[in-house]
Structure 1
Amino acid sequence: MRFDLSPEDRLCLILARGQLPPPACEEARALLARPLQWDRVLEQARANEVYPMLYRNLRYLGFAGVPASVRAKLEALFRMNALRNTLLADELTLLLGALSEAGIPVIPLKGLFLAESLYGDLTLRVCVDMDLLVPRRNMTQALDLLVARGYQAEFSRWFLTDRGMQNSFECAVRKRERTLDYRVELHWGLFWESSWEEGSIKDLWGAAHETIFRGVPVSDLSPEWQVVFLLVHAARHHWQSLKWLVDIHELCLRGGIGWETVETQMRELGWEPFLRWGLSVSHVLLETPLPPGFVVEMPPSSIRLFPAPPRFPAPLQDLLLFLRLAKQPSEKVLFLLRRLLLPTPGDSQLCRLPTSLGFLYYLVRPLRMGYLLCSSLWGAGFRGKDSP
């Protein structure tokens, strides 16, 4: 095992799970009977966004050995998250209903929908935004519907229709009501490269099934596509947050997954390493059950995993990781050209130009990417000097 865990980190790992089997309960009780640095436990629970599950499981264990002050802090965090998720769920229900009435197919991704379907309780997951997948052909219609409901986009509509879909798969809109920010991530794809995903997205919608979320009819991912999405999403965050890994763990525990289908989908996308790396990390940390014949293979050693604090990957790290996936030199060159030259909604947020000057985004993009990559190299250099 490549992880040297303190008692505090081990306790956080155990209590982050949705289910506590008897052996896990016994180990947790043994750890709770020892002197613990509770500030460390709270820090990890917050950083990895698993404090609702931590509170729920400690409550199940009777808060044995938990100082009153720590219990009060966890309860306050749990209640604030529950209130926020309830308000977000109300808004999500309204949005799903509006999209359904407009005849726009929609699949809620992760977040509140996953909390309710996977854990049976939308208060047990920390949710920052609402992720909605719609068909590419309905993207602008869905965006217009959100804008009509008070959401604001940080980019021009013409940019998204003309250029933004070429090198991206999502865009964000938001609105503020009283003290709460509502943020919606509107997806027309799940993955980065549209040339790879066209066929896979059709397969995804074909395998989706109808379900009900708080009285509203919606589509849901098949178990196989749910695994694919969670594995790729965890890879996007370099497997750094326990929240994403716990989702994968609980989905695998539920069973009913056609692993041959998952393997085929990942192979067709060219992302088999994400399957191997994601399941391996989840297995080593959370003892996730593995498919028959699966061989554990951890991600590159340069990637910092738990108990290291989560940190959003720098652009250079992202670039290097996905270059590793390209099998042919021509694929690597094509990937680099797409990432460095084709504009995205992020470029529009940086510099809003009128339609007549839209061609200038092809200059803004490489300048912005150059700045981000240089910043990544600069930051990596300083971290290298600070490390022992």
Structure 2
Amino acid sequence: MKTKHNLDLSLLSNEIKLLLEIIKVEDEKSLDNVLIKDINWNYFLQLAMYHRVYPLIYYTLIRSDEKTIPKYVIQTLKQEYKKNTFQMLHLSREMELLSQLFTDKKIPILFLKGPIIASDLYGDISLRTSKDLDILIPITKLEYAEELLLNFGYKREDETSLLNELKWRGHHITYIHTQKNIQLEIHWRLHPLPSKEPCFNELWEQRRVSKTSYPINFLGEEHLFLYLVSHGARHGWFRLRWLKDIDQMLSKGFNIINANILMKTYQSQHMVGQALILVSELLKTPLNEDMMILTKGSQPKKLADSALYFIKEMEPLHILASTYKFRRYLFLLKPSIVQKVIHFILLFYPSSSDVKTLRLPKPLNFLYFPLRPFLSIYRKLRKTP
């Protein structure tokens, strides 16, 4: 079905266009030689790393008969591909150990990303990257889970929590295992407030279980699809890897009708529409009639246009998130007036960054509320997070 939504792809560099051409390329299909002749290969490599698609790029290129790509580019991709494979194997082993640890202590645990998702979407853990492990547990088990992790060799990443900031702004806590060089995030929500999302019990009842040497619990297909869509949308889709994940699910035959009730319940139709426009335009993912319905209206198109800008910028998240354009995008992403109001209120809730900017005695912490706008302006002028 024709899926033209008239995104302005002229905003994208030839290097990004070539990345897209490669990760959407079919077996035995030649690459666009016109693109290849006008490529800054060092920038191409930077983009492949930034967008976390270098394993797929390498995997595709070594199976093509393309001779015009410089050898050093292939060699660099090969080295990074090997490093990523070892990293994913390392995380796979830790994933099974953690699953056994939590299961033995009767703490239900769901893995959100990592090797289990790479295997599910790509059939090969070496084709997707992951810098850490993300797990979801009931909020009532947080303290017990932390005790387990500390005894298991993990250390909680130093965070200054101001005025119960984690409850209102956060949705996960980060732990580091220095000996294993592994980062772990424990989530008690899928996304930060004020987003609507399924409760843990709903996710648990619909979970899938891996066939690995020790069983791994992970999200059911419909919940995983909406989680990946919402996560990508919340970050402005600034990494192409997230869009490729959606493309993989759709290409494997994911039936979007099965997620209709969830989309309506958790108000994510506009984000799904945005994702569908982006994958159809950038990765040429075919959309059926049910998918096309979700792309109708001005909001999905407007959100897709905004994401295109973030995709081309190649900015670190902490810099991107501080821009007016990104904050306005997040505001537009909220599906209801209530969520927009809560989002606006939370912008004025003090954060740990305010403590780093100006340390006040604990009895005076309430002053961070009126001071927050001024401290934020000061950080922008000083160009600090």
TM class by shorter chain equals: 0.7 to 0.9
Aligned positions of 1:205-216 closer than 5 A: 205-212=204-211, 214-216=212-214
Q: State TM-score, norm by structure 1.
A: 0.80
- Corresponding residue number in structure 1 for 2:126: 123
| Counterpart pick for 1:333 among 324, 331, 341 | 341
- Corresponding residue number in structure 1 for 2:329: 321
- Corresponding residue number in structure 2 for 1:9: 16
The alignment yields a C-alpha RMSD, in angstroms, of 3.4
Pick closer, same or farther for the CA change 1:227–1:39 going to 2, 3 Å. Answer: same
Q: 1:176 is aligned with what amino acid?
A: T
Task: Output one character per residue of 1:23-48: Cα deviation in whole Å (capped at 9) or x when no partner.
Answer: xx424264687464322321221121
Contact 1:211 1:217 in 2 (8 A): yes
Q: How many residues align?
A: 363
Secondary structure, counterpart of 1:183 in structure 2:
strand
Within the alignment, does 1:73 sit opposite 2:80 as a pair?
A: no
- Corresponding residue number in structure 1 for 2:203: 204
Unmatched segments (≥5 aa) in structure 1: 380-388
Structure 1 Cα separation of the partners of residues 313 and 30 of structure 2: 22
Contact 1:249 1:288 in 2 (8 A): yes
Secondary structure, counterpart of 2:287 in structure 1:
coil
Task: Output one character per residue of 1:57-83: Cα deviation in whole Å (capped at 9) or x when no partner.
Answer: 111114532222222211111122222
Q: Report the CA distance between 1:347 and its aligned residue.
A: 6.2
Structure 2 Cα separation of the partners of residues 94 and 15 of structure 1: 36
Identity of aligned residues (%): 24
Q: Report the CA distance between 1:254 and its aligned residue.
A: 1.0
Pick closer, same or farther for the CA change 1:223–1:68 going to 2, 3 Å. Answer: same
Structure 2 Cα separation of the partners of residues 121 and 365 of structure 1: 48
Which has the higher mean CA deviation after the structures are superposed, 61-70 or 46-55? 61-70
Structure 2 Cα separation of the partners of residues 98 and 156 of structure 1: 25
- Corresponding residue number in structure 1 for 2:3: none
Unmatched segments (≥5 aa) in structure 2: 1-5
Q: Report the CA distance between 1:183 and its aligned residue.
A: 0.9
Structure 1 Cα separation of the partners of residues 164 and 38 of structure 2: 60
Structure 1 Cα separation of the partners of residues 70 and 242 of structure 2: 28
Within the alignment, does 1:28 sit opposite 2:25 as a pair?
A: no
Task: Output one character per residue of 1:48-106: Cα deviation in whole Å (capped at 9) or x when no partner.
Answer: 11111111111111453222222221111112222222222222222222112111111
Pick closer, same or farther for the CA change 1:149–1:275 going to 2, 3 Å. Answer: same
Contact 2:134 2:187 in 1 (8 A): yes
Task: Output one character per residue of 1:186-244: Cα deviation in whole Å (capped at 9) or x when no partner.
Answer: 111112226833x55443223223333x3122222111111111111111220111111
Structure 2 Cα separation of the partners of residues 73 and 271 of structure 1: 39
Structure 2 Cα separation of the partners of residues 106 and 377 of structure 1: 43
Q: Report the CA distance between 1:245 and its aligned residue.
A: 0.7
Q: Report the CA distance between 1:375 and its aligned residue.
A: 4.4
Contact 1:48 1:310 in 2 (8 A): no
Which has the higher mean CA deviation after the structures are superposed, 68-77 or 331-340? 331-340
Structure 2 Cα separation of the partners of residues 366 and 289 of structure 1: 50
Pick closer, same or farther for the CA change 1:245–1:366 going to 2, 3 Å. Answer: farther
| Counterpart pick for 2:174 among 169, 172, 175 | 172
- Corresponding residue number in structure 2 for 1:187: 187
Aligned positions of 1:1-388 closer than 5 A: 1=6, 2-4=8-10, 5=12, 7-17=14-24, 20-22=25-27, 25-28=28-31, 30=33, 34=37, 36-62=39-65, 64-155=67-158, 164-177=166-179, 181-193=181-193, 196-197=196-197, 199-212=198-211, 214-257=212-255, 259-293=256-290, 294-295=292-293, 296=295, 297-300=300-303, 301-303=305-307, 304-312=309-317, 313-315=320-322, 316-317=324-325, 319-326=327-334, 329-341=337-349, 346=352, 357=362, 363-364=367-368, 367=371, 371-372=375-376, 375=379
Structure 2 Cα separation of the partners of residues 223 and 235 of structure 1: 18
Which has the higher mean CA deviation after the structures are superposed, 134-143 or 49-58? 134-143
Q: State TM-score, norm by structure 2.
A: 0.81
Q: 1:371 is aligned with what amino acid?
A: L
Structure 1 Cα separation of the partners of residues 153 and 17 of structure 2: 44
Structure 1 Cα separation of the partners of residues 355 and 97 of structure 2: 27
Pick closer, same or farther for the CA change 1:331–1:248 going to 2, 3 Å. Answer: closer
